Amino acid sequence: MSRTPGVLEKIQIGEVSERTGLFLRTIRHYEDIGVVGPSERSTGGFRLYAEAKVRRLALVRRMRPLGFCLEDVRALLDVLGRLPDAGGPLPESDKEANSFVRAFPDARLDHLLAAHE
């Protein structure tokens, strides 16, 4: 496949499965319930995932054994998506995100944030 400079490559669900260790059915389920979906679909209807989505799926895979339900996973991913890129502090104006992050035990949150980086 030829690559266009400056265009981010997107991969199909099979490669996402290989890279994350998640079953195809699990990835589709996460899409169905709104945890993580594809970045877009090809003209042929194939699910295409950008690197950021692959990282989110890998994070979900690490969170599940820690006892997080999928609702909490989705909520935490939403919060992480609102964090400043440089890992800076959460803006005080985002009260929902602040209260959500403070609700998690410190050790578990540290583990998850380290896995996200």
- pLDDT of 10 above 60: yes
Query: In angstroms, how far is CA 95 from the centroid of its own chain?
Result: 22
- pLDDT, tens only, 12-60: 999 999 999 999 999 999 999 999 999 999 999 999 999 999 999 999 9
Q: Which CATH class is domain 11-116?
A: mainly alpha
- pLDDT, tens only, 78-92: 877 777 664 556 566
CA angle 15, 85, 4 (to 5 degrees): 45
CA angle 8, 72, 65 (to 5 degrees): 85
Identify the CA nearest to 12 among candidates 59, 50, 65, 43: 50
- pLDDT of 111 above 90: no
